[in-house]
Structure 1
Amino acid sequence: MSPLNRQRMKLLALIMLFAVPLVSAWVMVEFRIGIPDERTAHGELNPDVPRLADWPLVEPRPAIDRGDWVLAFDCVGGCEADADQWWRLHRALGREAPRVTRLRLGPAESALPGEVLGEWQEPPGWRDGGQLWLLDPQGQAVLSYSAGVDPQDVLADVNHLLRMNSDPATAPSDT
């Protein structure tokens, strides 16, 4: 092989090194090959759940900071273990914990640190006892979890959502 042909082969190999990943990515996207179709969230999307402002809660309504994500859980009695479990999950968020408020719905003697108490005026039809909801800063339910959900699954979803939605207070301004 002549030196000129060897140089051409090197150039062709270099072009292929950069072209093959681009072509394979285009084929994957265009023909949906190797792209998972299933959702990655552990909770369920439930569009029937109204905004937090429309929930039938006893007045005065719980004070929740504007811009906070809300982890609302329904207590059907004797839920101190559940409250402690969600408190531990809140602590596991680390530096992201101030962006999340826990709302305990149901009878409670006292609130755990960082927890807000609320009570139903009347249980709504979309509620299922012991359920957990993750609400965005606008009060819209993003995910719903049934009673007995694994806290690690909820933690993974909350971490993912907080990572994908930056904190507006720390975001750089455009001015």
Structure 2
Amino acid sequence: MRPRRPLDPRRQRLKLLALIAIFALPLMTAWAMVEWRIGIPEQRTAHGELVPDIPPLAQWPLTDRDSEADADTWLLAFDCSLDCAALADQWWRLHRALGREAPRLARLRIGGAGEALPGERLARWQGQAPAWQTPGRVWLLAPGGEALLTYSSEVEARDVLDDINHLLRVNPESRSQRERQVSQR
């Protein structure tokens, strides 16, 4: 049997420094990124445009007052004056793509002909449409009826779905008092 060599203190220190570096370098890198704003995006951008100047849904000149917003439901309102059947189908498919989050969103079709698709409400503009409305425009409204985002008629449904998923994720569902009582039993 060979005699054991004594441990080299320099080699042991080098191993210790390498171990410390493995854990410290990511922390120091993250600190430098935050401190000097290197490699960090300046902002998170939604695919739609923010619309602070559009009035709440209750003030929209609509013929159907059944279109009022629920307290817990997000609303996807869309102008259906151009190619209505295709638009209604596109937004119905987007609604289905939400999966288990679908009950948290309702759709409001403004204008157009034909029957309402499942989960869709129908309304029409009273007289002349407001100045902020353009054909094919889509609005995403928060619970309570405040307009958050608007999209042009050329928007990709995938982009709208990304924004809706993000909003539903950062705004968890509030359960009603009755649901809480049932779940506690």
Is the TM value for this pair above 0.5?
Answer: yes
**CA-CA distance at 1:9 after TM superposition:** 2.1
Structure with bigger gyration radius: 2
Structure 1 unpaired stretches of 5+: none
Identity rate, percent: 58
Aligned to 2:91: 86
Distance 1:100 1:4 in 2: 66
Q: TM-score, normalised by structure 1?
A: 0.86
Aligned to 1:120, which of 121, 125, 143? 125
CA RMSD of aligned residues (A): 2.2
Distance 1:57 1:46 in 2: 19
Contact 1:63 1:116 in 2 (8 A): no
Contact 1:64 1:116 in 2 (8 A): no
Structure 2 unpaired stretches of 5+: 1-5, 181-185
Q: In the alignment, is residue 167 of structure 1 matched against residue 157 of structure 2?
A: no
Per-residue Cα deviation, 1:30-87 (whole angstroms, up to 9, x for no partner): 2111112354321111211122222222253425432111111012255111011100
**CA-CA distance at 1:10 after TM superposition:** 2.3
**CA-CA distance at 1:11 after TM superposition:** 2.2
Q: In structure 2, do the counterparts of structure 1 residues 10 and 83 end up closer, same or farther at CA, with 3 Å as the change threshold? A: same
Q: Which runs of at least 4 in structure 1 moved beyond 4 Å after TM superposition?
A: none
Distance 1:62 1:28 in 2: 47
Aligned to 1:34: 39
Distance 1:138 1:13 in 2: 57
Distance 1:86 1:140 in 2: 20
**SS across alignment from 2:50:** coil
Distance 2:104 2:146 in 1: 16
**CA-CA distance at 1:125 after TM superposition:** 1.4
